[in-house]
Amino acid sequence: MDEKKTGALILAATRMGCALAGADERQRRAAEHYARAIGLAFQIVDDILDVEGDAETLGKATGSDAENQKATYVSLLGLEPAKKRVKELTHAAVRALEPFGEEGISLADFAKDLALRRC
C-alpha cells in the first residue's frame, strides 16, 4: 500500500528525470531502487512523527494513528526498530546512487534530509 502513495510519486519523478537525462539502463535501475527506498523511508518517518512529532510544528494533530488503531511501521516494529529501518533505507538509497558518481550527491543529500525531517 505504501508504494502506491508518496512512493509512487517519487518513483514517477525519478523515472521522468531519468528519461529526460538520457539515463542508461543501469542508472534507471539504480534510480528506481533509490526512489523505492526513500519512498518507504518517508512513510516510516511520517509514522514516527505521528508518535514523536509536535502538532504545532507538523501542522496537524499527532497520535491519530494509535487512536485509530492504524497499522503503522511504529505499531508493527516498535519505535526504535522503525528508526533503524529509516537509517537502513536511507543508506540503501545513497548506495543506489553510486552509478551517478558526483551527479548523485544532491540526491543523496535529499535522502538524508528526508530521513531527518521533523515536519
Which residue range(s) make up the domain with 27? 2-116
Angle at 114 between CA 46 and CA 35, to 5 degrees: 95
pLDDT, tens digit (0-9, with 9 covering 90-100), for 9-19: 999 999 999 99
State the average pLDDT over residues 18-34: 96
CATH number of 51's domain? 1.10.600.10
Number of domains into which the chain is organized: 1
How many angstroms separate the CA atoms of 6 and 28, rounded? 19
pLDDT, tens digit (0-9, with 9 covering 90-100), for 63-85: 666 666 677 889 899 999 999 99
Are 68 and 55 within 8 A, CB to CB? no
pTM of the model: 0.85
